[in-house]
Structure 1
Amino acid sequence: MRISRLTPDESGIVPWPTLSVSKKAVVTVGVFDGMHRGHTELLERVKALAEQQRAYSVVIMFDPRPGVVHHFVKEHDGMEPTADDLAVDSQALMSVDERMHRMAQLGIDHVLIVAYNLAFAAKSYRFFLGQLVGKVGMRTLVLGSDAEMGSNRAGDVEAIQRLAEATGVFQLDVVGDVGPGYTRVPRIIEPQAPEQAGEPDDPLLHMTKDEQRAWSKSHDAAKVRVWSSTNVRYLLSQGRMAEANEVLGHDHVIEGQVVHGEQRGRDLGFPTANLGEPVGGYIPVDGVYAGWLVDLGKRDKVLDGYEEEDSAAISQANVDARVSPGSPWRWPAAISIGTKETYESQTGLRHRVVEAYAMSKEWLDLYDHDVRIEFTNFLRPQVKFDGSDQLVDQLRKDEQSALKLLGA
C-alpha cells in the first residue's frame, strides 16, 4: 500500500499525485476514525469494485479530523488552528498509523492523507470531485448513504448523484445503511465510570419506551447509527468495552511509548508499562481492564539503505508480525487507567495514568519502546485501598480474571 501526505496550498488546492496515466481509480473519502464495521464494509466495496474494473483502490483520508478543525474555529472567533493546536486529538478513537495498518490489511492500494484546513474546506464539492476525476483518475466514487462533503457540506449523495449523471465522467456507488440500526447518544459525552465489577449494561436495555424518551431528553441525546464512531466513543466513555468492540469488529487499541513511572508496581510484584504522552487513540474511562500488551520495539526511523517507502513497508511487516496471535512480543495484560488514589495522599500526585501489567514469566524491559494496548473487557472500577496488602490481593484477583477472560 502506498501512502501520500498532501498539504493544500494557501488557496486550498491539493497537489494530487498522478497514480497512473492509464489505470483508473475507485475512490472513497472520509476520516475512518476507529475503522469500525461500517468502515470495513465500505472499504471492502471499494476493493471489490477496483478488482472488477481493474482499477486502483484509493482512500482519501482527512487528518486532522474536520470536526476538530471546525470546533476550534468556532471556539476561537474564526481563527484557524496551528499544527501545535491540533497536535493532540484526545477524542480520536484511533491513531492515523493504526488506520493505515488496517487499510493495508484490507488490501487498499493507495491512501492519500489530506491535511484538512479552512482553505480546502471552502472548496465546493464540484471542484473537489472534478480534481479527483482529472488528477487522480477517479471513475467510481463509493460513499455511505449519509456522506456530505464540500463547502457548507452541500455535497450529499443526492447532489453528487445528479452531478455524476450530468457529467458522465464518474459513477457514484452508495453503500446503504449497514449494521443493526440506530441508538441514542448524548450530544455531549461525559465519561462515567461503572460502579460495579464486570461489563456494564446498556442503561436503556430494561427501560420502557416512556423511560427511554425521558432518558434521551434529560441527556439531550441524538440519534446515531449503532455502527458509528460517535457510538463507539460513547461506549468507551462508559466502560462498555465488549459493546464497543462488537461495533468496531476488533479490540479497541491505543498506542504510546513506555516511560519511567514511580516503579511502585515493580515493588509490589506487578511491574507495569506506563504510557507517556501523547497517547494514540481514545483512552477509555477510568477502571481496570483485561487485554493484551504488544511490544512494537523502538520508534522507527527510515532504515539505513532503504528508501522511505520501502522502510515503511518493512515497518508495517514488523507490526503485522508482532500483533499476530501467538507472537512472542504479545502478552495477556491487566490494564489500569486512573489516578492511583491509594497513594495519592503520599505522593500528592493526581495525574491520570495508563499502565499495563504484562503477564510474562520473564522480566520485560520496555522503556522507550512503542507499545500497543488492546482492550477486551472491563474488569472493575478504580478503588482506593487502605494499603499495599489490600491492593496486592486485588491485583492477584485482576490477574486471574484477565487470564480467564483472555483464555491465556
Structure 2
Amino acid sequence: METCFLHHPEFTIENQDPKTIALGFFDGVHLGHQAVIKMAKQIADENGEKSAVLTFDPHPSVVLSKARKAVHYLTPLDEKLEKIEQLGIDIVYVVRFTAAFAELSPERFVEDYLIQLNAHHIVAGFDYSYGKKGAGKMEEMVSYAKGRFDVTIVNKQEAFDEKISSTKIRGAIEEGDLDTANELLGYPYKVKGTVIHGDKRGRTLGFPTANMQIDEDYLIPKLGIYAVRFIIGGKSYAGMASIGYNVTFKTDQERSIEVFILDFDREIYGEQAEIEWYHFFRSEMKFNGVEGLVEQLKQDEADTRAYFAQ
C-alpha cells in the first residue's frame, strides 16, 4: 500500500490514475468504517481503478479545541494505516489537519482535494461532513461533483440497536466493557508498547509480570484486572493484566500496566509487545496483607484460564 502525506495548501499528486476514494477519519477502523472502506474497494475493483482512502491527522479536535488536551486514539496513525492496508486498499492519503485546512469551504475541499486526486468515485458514511465547521454534507456532494465523479453513501451500520461509532467504542473501553468494544470494532482492542523494568514485586509473590510502557497516543481501559493476550515475537500468550497503582503497597506512584503471562518464562526487557484486551474481571482492590493479595491473584489466574478455555 502506498501512503502519501499531504500538507495544505502546497502538495503534489504524482499518481493521477482514476481512483475510488473512501473518506473518513476512521479512528478504530471499526465495523462501520470497514463497511465504507470495503465498499470503496469493491467499486474500485469492479471499475478497474485504484482504491484509496483520504484521512486526516491529527484529530480535528487537537486543532479546533480552545483548550489544549491530549487526544487518545483507538488506532494511532501507524496502526490505522496497518488496518486499512489489511482491507486491500492501494493508496492512503493522510492530510495534515491544520487551522488553514479547517477553513476550506466544502466546494474548495472538493476542488482542491477530490478533483486533484482524480477521484472517479467517492464513498463515505451517511454522516460524513467536510469543509469549514463540517458545513458540507454527503447529500450535497453530487452537486459539488458537477458530474466529474460518482458518489456512494453508505447507510448507518448498527449493533445493539445503535449506530456503530468510535465514540460508543471509546466509552465502552473507558468503562472496561471490552466485550462490547471488541464486538463493535470487529477485532480485539489492542495497544502497543515496550516492556520496562518495574519494582519486581510480582516475582516475590509468585506472579512475575511484564511492566508495559504503552505508547502515549492510545486510549487505556479503566483501572482493574483483565483477561488479555500478550503478543511478543510474533507469538500470542494468554495473560492477566492489571491497570492500577499497586494500592496494597503504595499510594503515590504513577499508574502501571502489568501483565502476568501464563506459561511463559523469558527475559523480555526492552522488547516491543502488544496487549489485546478481552474481558474485565474486577476493579483494583487494596488488601491488608500479602496473603490476601496472593489468594486473589490465584483466583484471577484461574478466571483467566477459564475464560480462554471457553
Structure 2 length normalisation: TM-score?
0.94
Q: Equivalent residue of 1:403, what SS? A: helix
Task: Tell whether 2:305 aligns with 1:403.
Answer: yes
| Deviation for aligned residue 1:139 | 0.8
C-alpha distance in structure 1 between counterparts of 2:260 and 2:76, whole Å: 22
Q: How does 1:2-401 map to 2 (within 5 A)?
A: 2-8=2-8, 13-20=9-16, 23-71=17-65, 74-75=66-67, 89-90=71-72, 92-164=73-145, 167-180=146-159, 183=162, 225=163, 227-276=164-213, 278-295=215-232, 322=234, 329-344=235-250, 349-361=252-264, 363-401=265-303
Q: Is the 8 A contact 1:139 1:170 kept in 2?
A: yes
| Deviation for aligned residue 1:401 | 1.1
Q: Is the 8 A contact 2:159 2:184 kept in 1?
A: no
C-alpha distance in structure 1 between counterparts of 2:231 and 2:272, whole Å: 9
State the Cα deviation string for residues 332-363 of structure 1 (Å, max 9, x = none): 1101111111111xxx53311111111134x2
Q: Equivalent residue of 1:42, what SS? A: helix
Identical counterparts, % of pairs: 31
Structure 1 length normalisation: TM-score?
0.72
Q: Equivalent residue of 2:172, what SS? A: helix
Unaligned runs of 5+ in 1: 77-84, 184-224, 297-321, 323-328
Write 1 or 2 for the structure with the bigger share of strand.
Answer: 2
Q: Is the 8 A contact 1:64 1:115 kept in 2?
A: yes
| Deviation for aligned residue 1:131 | 2.6
1:343 maps to a residue whose letter is: F
1:352 maps to a residue whose letter is: R
Alpha-carbon distance change, 172 to 14 in structure 1, aligned in 2, over 3 angstroms: farther
Unaligned runs of 5+ in 2: none
1:330 maps to a residue whose letter is: S
| Deviation for aligned residue 1:5 | 2.4
Alpha-carbon distance change, 171 to 111 in structure 1, aligned in 2, over 3 angstroms: same
Q: Equivalent residue of 2:248, what SS? A: helix
Q: Is the 8 A contact 1:26 1:140 kept in 2?
A: yes
Q: How many residues align?
A: 310
Question: Which aligned runs of 4 or more in structure 1 are off by greater than 6 angstroms?
Answer: none
C-alpha distance in structure 1 between counterparts of 2:119 and 2:12, whole Å: 12
Q: Equivalent residue of 2:116, what SS? A: helix
